[in-house]
Amino acid sequence: MDGQNKVADACAEVLKRNDLGAWTRPAPNLYPHQWLWDSCFIAIGLRHVDIGRAQKEIKSLFRGQWKNGMIPNIIYGSGKKTTDDIWNSRSSRQAPHNIRTSGITQPPMIAEAVVKIGEKMTKKARRQWYSSVFDDLVAYHEWLYRERDPHNEGLVVLVHPWECGLDNNPGWMSEMHLNHLPLWIRIVRSLKLQHVIALLRRDSGIWKSHERIDTIDALGLFSIARRLRRKKYETRLIFRRSHLAVEDLAFNSILVRANTLLHEISKELNRELPGWLHERMKKAPHALELLWHETRAQYFSRNFVTFEPINESSIMTFMPLYAGTITKARAANLVELLHAQQWHTTYPVPSVPKSSPYFQPKRYWQGPTWINTNWLIADGLERYGYHAEAEHIRQRSIELVEKHGSYEYFSPLDGSPAGTNNFSWTAALTIDFLNQ
């Protein structure tokens, strides 16, 4: 117990060190701004330390909310060197003009964070808390289904890999390389000039080359951002021409769970959701089944244009457990897969199975174990009664942080740390694991 107390204290110190008053930076150097789902995970841990501060963390996200309801993945800190010139989000009539943001969103973890905070409150305080965020939260869900579900089927479309939070995961990278690398990047790749460009990367002094996103992939990601900027983030313009667009499995699984929680919030407040939104949300659990691959007995993301599954295995395939709406039979299939050799590692759960050609144990989302995806999977396993599996993931996650500290991610093979240290969501979710 003393060891766990030391871990909790060390994690709380990381959060304190990264606290900028109203919001928490993910890490001191590499990530100096506010990120959407980072802050949600941070608030989930902060509720055990300072519930008022956890509330403030979530409320601060709404300061960047666009007029159309979108909550951006990045809200830039004032007076800090930024890369927001790649977004120029103020070119959109919908963007806030008193604060700089990106032009895309990130997994909708806000409802989860709101409810987790509410669990620590009295009924009266919880109702007040829910009331303070309800309208903004509904507006965000309305935007997701109004702007990103053009087929009215209950699946939301993403237009940039950064929106899924698992930036360079195999599914998205395979799609990007297949059809969406512009000519100049293909020339750079053919002439092997990426090694020269890599010397100019801002993250060169912070990240080891074998841990960060591949330079060609990084160029592709920035190129897509520029294309979105040129279209001023107008959905109708983005969808008018062939563009990288994916019905992302992880994002939609998280959204299904968020919908369930939003219903709980509305019920406690005795407030009705807009009728059309209610109907669209009802479709989401059934729509998630469109992403099931019968032959391979697992879920995959889907190309929005062709409706073809993106058959690249990654940690996304376990996210429907977190959604909590799949059948027990489907859940059993996923747990069986979790136990399979290709997913078995000393420190679960790798972001890519060992059998994948993409697997690299320390390259960002192409192999490492992340505490946030472990948290999501463990939560889902608990919901389906797989308590031993969930506990194994929790204890291994805590062990990683106890041995090495709050690193961004870890090798699933030997647990060695990678990425940046003093990473906020690692610290926050470890605190939450310790309190379960």
Reported as half-sphere exposure (CB side, CA atoms, 13 A), residue 295 has a value of: 2
In angstroms, what CA-CA distances link 191 with 180, 183, 195, 224?
Answer: 19, 12, 10, 21
For the residues 120-143, what does the mean pLDDT come to?
98
Residue 201 has pLDDT above 80, yes or no: no
C-alpha span between 414 and 183 (Å, rounded)? 40
Residue 286 has pLDDT above 70, yes or no: yes
By percentage, how much of the chain surpasses pLDDT 70?
96
Domains held by the chain: number? 1
Q: Among 24-38, 122-136, 209-223, which stretch is predicted with the lowest mean pLDDT?
A: 209-223
Q: Helices marked H in 47-122 — which ranges?
A: 51-61, 110-118
Q: Distance from CA of residue 405 to its chain's centroid?
A: 22
Residue 11 has pLDDT above 60, yes or no: yes
Contact call for residues 256 and 121 (beta carbons, < 8 A): no
C-alpha span between 408 and 6 (Å, rounded)? 19
Q: Which two tokens stand for residue 167?
A: 């930036």
CATH number of 280's domain: 1.50.10.10
Q: Which two tokens stand for residue 114?
A: 């709101």
Q: Which residue has the higher pLDDT, 193 or 432?
A: 432
C-alpha span between 180 and 310 (Å, rounded)? 15
What pLDDT score was predicted for residue 123? 97
Name which of 31, 83, 396 is nearest 14 in CA terms: 31
pLDDT band at 413 (very low <50, low <70, confident <90, very high): very high
Residue 401 has pLDDT above 90, yes or no: yes
pLDDT band at 193 (very low <50, low <70, confident <90, very high): confident
By residue range, what is the domain housing residue 113? 2-434
For the residues 11-38, what does the mean pLDDT come to?
96
pLDDT band at 82 (very low <50, low <70, confident <90, very high): low
pLDDT band at 211 (very low <50, low <70, confident <90, very high): confident
pLDDT band at 86 (very low <50, low <70, confident <90, very high): confident
Catalytic residue list: 167, 408
Residue 187 has pLDDT above 80, yes or no: yes
DSSP 381-421: HHHTT-HHHHHHHHHHHHHHHHHH-S-SEE-TTT--EES-S
What pLDDT score was predicted for residue 240? 83
Contact call for residues 362 and 418 (beta carbons, < 8 A): yes
C-alpha span between 215 and 205 (Å, rounded)? 15
C-alpha span between 331 and 386 (Å, rounded)? 10
Contact call for residues 212 and 203 (beta carbons, < 8 A): yes
Residue 254, exposed/middle/buried by CB under 10 A (0-12, 13-18, 19+)?
A: buried
